[in-house]
Structure 1
Amino acid sequence: MADAERHPLFMPLILLGGLVFGFGLAYSHMARPEVVLDFLQFEDFGLVFVMFGGAAVTGVAYVLAPRLLDGPPLTRRRFERRLKSFDRNVLVGGAVFGVGWGLSGICPGAAYASLGVGNVTILWALAGMFVGAYVQGVFRSRSDAGDATTAGAD
């Protein structure tokens, strides 16, 4: 989608949404890896309530927004769900995400919020996320190039 089709407030509202999300994570202490690790060790279940709250708001928005609005007010596109098939890549990606979450005690969104509350050691986890994303991109581009070569040989 071209930037010209977007509402002029699109990017500022994305920034505002990120700030609200980060503030919520910091306020609920979910930007602290030790809180997340306590949850993963079944010692503190506060994260369940934070996740449920986010899922409830998202669920209501997904049900009501298409019925109440003609389209997204900021992108001028149709509302539609993007379904992703459950395949090997989804399973492996979820497993890698879970292992990284368990080792670092933080997920990508909360890592930035954690950095914002002064947790400088989280830079190691952020560096790992960037390296992992880069390696995955290289792996994916090579496998896509191999698929294109195989398809061309048919």
Structure 2
Amino acid sequence: MAGSDRHPLFLPLIAVGGLVFGFGLGYSHMARPEVVLDFLQFEDLGLPFVMFGGALVTGVVYFLAPKLLKRPALTNRSFERRLKPFDNQVLVGGAIFGVGWGLSGICPGAAYASLGVGNVPILWALAGMFLGAFAQGVWRSRNDASDAAPTGAD
């Protein structure tokens, strides 16, 4: 699908959504690593309430939007579920993500919001996230290239 099929307000509304998300994380103090670490140590259970609130709003919209609208107004695509397989990559990736989250006390979405509340040292965690994502991309590209290489038994 070409990007020209999208509504002209598509990208600005994504930016507004990101600003609202970041403001919400900052306002709820979930952009502060010490709050997240307190949650992971079962000392502050505010994080599940923030996550549940966001999941509830998202769930309602995902349930009602296909029933009320024929097509999303901004993307002009059909509503559909995209299921991904639950395999060992999901388990291993989730475990690695969880260890990184526990060590840094921050998840990727909150890391950007954490900059907005003045947490400049979070730049180290962001650099680590980008480096980790880059390393995984290189690793996957090499694996995909070796899987596609001819075996000579054709």
TM-score normalised by length of structure 1: 0.96
In 1: Cα distance, 2:152 partner to 2:127 partner: 37
Identity between Structure 1 and Structure 2 (%): 79
Matches within 5 A, 1:62-77: 62-77=62-77
Secondary structure (helix, strand or coil) at the match of 2:72 reads: coil
Structure 2 residue 114 is matched with structure 1 residue 109: no
Residue matched to 2:15:
15
1:150, distance to aligned residue in structure 2 (A)? 4.9
Taking a change above 3 Å as real, the CA distance of residues 72 and 151 of structure 1, as seen in their structure-2 partners, is farther
In 2: Cα distance, 1:73 partner to 1:41 partner: 43
Output one character per residue of 1:19-54: Cα deviation in whole Å (capped at 9) or x when no partner: 000000000000000000000000000001001001
Matches within 5 A, 1:86-125: 86-125=86-125
Letter in 2 for 1:51: M
Specify every segment of 5 or more residues in structure 2 that has no aligned partner in the other structure, as ranges: none
Taking a change above 3 Å as real, the CA distance of residues 33 and 152 of structure 1, as seen in their structure-2 partners, is farther
In 2: Cα distance, 1:55 partner to 1:109 partner: 15
Residue matched to 2:32:
32
How many pairs does the alignment contain? Answer: 154
Task: Give the aligned CA root-mean-square deviation in angstroms.
Answer: 1.2
Residue matched to 1:141:
141
Letter in 2 for 1:138: V
Specify every segment of 5 or more residues in structure 1 that has no aligned partner in the other structure, as ranges: none
Taking a change above 3 Å as real, the CA distance of residues 19 and 2 of structure 1, as seen in their structure-2 partners, is same
Q: Which moved more, 1:90-99 or 1:14-23?
A: 90-99
1:149, distance to aligned residue in structure 2 (A)? 1.2
1:151, distance to aligned residue in structure 2 (A)? 7.2
Q: Which moved more, 1:56-65 or 1:15-24?
A: 56-65
Give the ranges of 4+ consecutive aligned residues of structure 1 lying more than 3 Å apart after TM superposition: 150-154
In 1: Cα distance, 2:151 partner to 2:85 partner: 22
Letter in 1 for 2:89: N
Structure 2 residue 134 is matched with structure 1 residue 127: no
1:62, distance to aligned residue in structure 2 (A)? 1.3
Secondary structure (helix, strand or coil) at the match of 1:42 reads: coil
Taking a change above 3 Å as real, the CA distance of residues 136 and 57 of structure 1, as seen in their structure-2 partners, is same
